[in-house]
Structure formats: C-alpha cells, structure tokens
C-alpha cells in the first residue's frame, strides 16, 4: 500500500549571519528560513527548506489541507492543486507599492511555496524507493559529485551597531576567525578567498558587488585573479551598474572575469534582457542572471535575445523539477546551467546538490552561502566539502538529510526569541549611514 502524508509541519527558523554587504544594504544578525517537515503513514520523514518570512510561511500553511492524507505517489498532482489554490489566493491579495529589492520580490514567487511542498514528497518517495532525489528528477542522476564556488562578500563592521551579530564563534581555522570581521578592500577579499579555499577547497569565486563604486570592486576582481589565476571569477552587482558604467568597467576584462552576473538592469525604454544582450554582445563576456529570467516567459525572451549564457535556476525559485528542466534546456541550447544562492542551512544545500546531480551537460560551480553558515546544520551530520565539491552518493536515499529535531527546535526558538520575520537589509545600513535608503542604482556605501 502506498504511504500517505499524515502530517505537514511548517517551522520558521533562524540562524546567525555576518554583516554581509550588498546593493540592498547589510544582512541582519539573523537569516530566516522556513523548514517543511512531512511525516508519512510508515513513519518516514521528508524535509524541505525555502526562503523565510511570514508571507511564505502563511502560504505554506494554506497548503496543509491539500497535502495531508495524500499518497506520496501523487506528489505532482498535490503540487498542481496547491498552485491552483495559491493563484486564487494571490488574486485576492492587495499589491505592494514602492521600489522593492530583489529579495523582497522573492516573496511574490509561488514557486517558493510549491518547492516547500514538492521537495519533502520527493524526499519521502526517494526513501521508499531507496534512491536519491536526483534519480527522480529529469532523466535521473548524471553525476556523483557537485562543484560549488566560494561566495565572497564585503563585510561591514558589526561593532558600529548594537545589533546582536555573532562574534568569535569559531577559531578552528582562519576562515572561522575572519568571517565575522570587517572586509572592505581588495586585500580583505583575497584573504577571504584564501581562507575559504583552505577550509572548503573552492576553485572558483564570486564577489557580491553593489557596495563600492564599480572601479573599486573591479580592483578586487583583478586581485582575486592575480592570486587565483586558474579560477573562474565573477562579480554580481545586482543590476546596479548603468550600461555606460558596465561597459567601461568590463570592456577589457576578458580573461579576468569569466562571466558577469546581472551587470545591468532595465534602462529607459529597454528591459534588463535587452540591456544584458547588449552588454554580452559588446564585451564578449558571458552573462549570468537570477533576476531577468526567473520564469519560463522571461527565459523564452532571454534566449531569443541571447541575453544570458548561464541561467541561475535556483531550485527554491523554480522547484527542484523546474530547475532540472532548465538544465535540460541549457544542455539542448548549448548554455551553461547554474544556481543562485541565499543564506541557508544544510537542507537547502542538499536540495541544490541533488538538483545539480540530475542536471545534464555543462554546469557552473553552484552558488552557496553555506560557508557563512557552516556549523549551523539542521541534520545530524554536517555537510563535508572535498576539493570544493559535495558527494551525492547513489546509495543514500532521498535528500540525504537525517533531521535533528533538537537543532530544528533550537533554530525555531532563535527565530521566535529574536522576533525574526521578513529580511530588512536597510536596518543594519542605517547604523553605518544615518537615514540610509535602498536605491537600485547606487552602491550601498556610496551616499
């Protein structure tokens, strides 16, 4: 008899973060996620981790009556039912006003919620069939290890705030010692990369831009390439550069920047897909995005315009099945598949690894914030990077996460005790620059 879902639980959780800087401001002391736990009639547990905040948590709760009592074999139908219900729910919600950050726009994507339903059911199905989730996606598992990159950030000085940023939590190596400390120049960024490589073995690096004038950030990229000449290096200013600025900064960066993520956005009467295509054509540099091809309609336009070389198809925003479908498309069209990242625990890391293990063709080293959260895993066993890669064993069923309920409960208490909710990167920045407000066309520290 096919097992049924007896219980679906939505658990808002929090973890500690560093004061990471980006175009939208500074990460708060706590990052938030929503963990979904499903228990089936045979006593198996399936899990998922999706972006945090009350909006997504509420929408997940709305799905519970459509999930409980359903056989795990009907996971596609359950996801479809949830999507139809949520579309009707969204139609009744009032729209939001004002300029929104890319992170705020995340909450409008139903796929965040659908992934929270899809993934635990896939986890359970994999456990019953005794195969990894990767074997259930696309054409099945195509690789046994997945390469990740080192995600570097400028870091603000937490001592200039009275916010409860975690300090001195790990002195086991150089990465543990420096990841909570300020990093505001090229030397500090290179030091970050060296320390991260020592712990995790990363071969490739991405710098989050949108913090300083573009010229300063390009100097950091050049310093990284000098120190790591064989690395694939990119920068992501989150569409914060104008076309004129992006061309000035990147026209002569072939051989230094392997690709550029979201260098430009909408400008005048031109969409981001049009400006990205122009940037790609003029500079000859490959382009990546998680901002201007975030659904199938946008993807279609981006491909027609030749805007994007590396679509970053985060399984949290596309669903796991959708992310692998993007990878299949990339393989057919001679594109390179990649993954976007946000702050996350080990459950999300496993979701990305399983999706990438089923992604055919060329794949980029996957983004991950986990280096900043290392040590805060919710499974009983911590993830272990070897030479910048995670193994995806074919004999470990499901996602490969053995949930630690005590750790999950502690992360939920951290969320509740600190009044966590929707992320607000402006709050920390206002300690550094009084009255600071988000401007999508001005670097965070240029005011």
Residue 332 half-sphere exposure toward CB, CA atoms < 13 A: 7
Structure-block tokens of residue 165? 């940023």
Structure-block tokens of residue 118? 């899809």
Q: Are 34 and 10 in contact (CB under 8 A)?
A: yes
Question: What residues contact 416, with CB distance under 8 A and at least 6 apart?
Answer: 12
Cβ count near 393 (within 10 Å): 12
Q: Are 426 and 23 in contact (CB under 8 A)?
A: no
Strand 45-51 relative to strand 145-147: parallel, antiparallel, unpaired?
unpaired
Q: Are 123 and 351 in contact (CB under 8 A)?
A: no
Lay out the sheet containing 5-16: strands in order across: 5-16, 30-40, 45-51
If we measure between CA atoms, which residue out of 123, 141, 125 comes closest to residue 358?
141
Structure-block tokens of residue 115? 């992934």
Residue keyed to tokens 């939001």: 96
Q: What is the DSSP letter of 143?
A: -
The distance from CA 328 to its chain's CA centroid, rounded to whole angstroms, is 20
Q: Any idea which residues carry the catalytic annotation?
A: 208, 340
Strand 233-236 relative to strand 205-208: parallel, antiparallel, unpaired?
parallel
User: What's the rounded Cα separation, in Å, for the pair 211 and 410?
Assistant: 33
Q: Are 311 and 324 in contact (CB under 8 A)?
A: no
Q: From the DSSP assignment, how many helices (H) and strands (E) are in the chain?
A: 16, 13
User: What's the rounded Cα separation, in Å, for the pair 121 and 9?
Assistant: 13
């Amino acid at each position: 008899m096919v097992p049924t879902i007896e219980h679906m639980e939505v658990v808002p959780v929090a973890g500690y973060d560093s004061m990471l800087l980006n175009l939208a401001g500074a990460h708060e002391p706590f990052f938030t996620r929503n963990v979904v736990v499903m228990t089936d009639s045979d006593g198996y547990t399936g899990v998922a981790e999706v972006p945090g905040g009350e909006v997504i948590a509420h929408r997940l709760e709305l799905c519970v009556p459509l999930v409980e009592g359903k056989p795990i074999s009907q996971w596609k139908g359950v996801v479809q039912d949830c999507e139809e219900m949520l579309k009707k729910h969204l139609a009744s919600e009032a729209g939001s006003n004002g300029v929104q950050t890319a992170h705020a726009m995340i909450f409008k994507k139903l796929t965040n919620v659908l992934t929270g339903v899809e993934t635990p059911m896939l986890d359970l199905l994999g456990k019953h069939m005794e195969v990894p989730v990767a074997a259930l996606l696309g054409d099945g598992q195509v690789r046994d290890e997945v390469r990740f990159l080192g995600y570097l950030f400028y870091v603000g000085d937490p001592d200039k705030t009275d916010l409860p940023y975690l300090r001195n939590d790990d002195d086991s190596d150089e990465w543990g010692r420096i990841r909570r400390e300020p990093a505001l120049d090229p030397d500090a960024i290179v030091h970050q990369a060296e320390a991260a490589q020592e712990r995790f073995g990363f071969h490739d690096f991405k710098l989050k831009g949108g913090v300083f004038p573009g010229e300063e950030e390009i100097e950091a990229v050049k310093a990284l390439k000098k120190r790591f000449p064989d690395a694939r290096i990119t920068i992501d200013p989150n569409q914060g550069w104008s076309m004129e600025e992006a061309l000035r900064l990147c026209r002569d960066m072939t051989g230094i920047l392997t690709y550029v993520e979201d260098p430009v956005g909408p400008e005048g009467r031109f969409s981001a897909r049009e400006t990205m295509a122009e940037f790609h054509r003029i500079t000859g540099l490959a382009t990546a995005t998680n901002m201007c091809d975030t659904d199938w309609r946008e993807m279609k336009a981006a491909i027609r315009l030749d805007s994007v070389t590396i679509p970053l198809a985060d399984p949290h925003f596309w669903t796991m099945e959708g992310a692998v479908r993007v990878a299949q498309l990339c393989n057919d069209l001679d594109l390179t598949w990649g993954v976007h990242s946000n702050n996350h625990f080990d459950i999300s890391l496993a979701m990305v690894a399983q999706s990438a293990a089923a992604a055919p063709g060329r794949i980029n080293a996957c983004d991950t914030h986990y280096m900043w959260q290392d040590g805060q895993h919710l499974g009983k066993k911590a993830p272990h990077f070897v030479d910048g890669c995670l193994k995806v064993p074919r004999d470990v069923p499901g996602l490969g996460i053995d949930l630690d309920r005590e750790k999950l409960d502690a992360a939920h208490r951290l969320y509740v005790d600190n009044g966590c909710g929707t992320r607000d990167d402006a709050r920390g920045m206002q300690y550094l620059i009084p009255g600071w407000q988000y401007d999508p066309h001005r670097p965070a520290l240029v005011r």
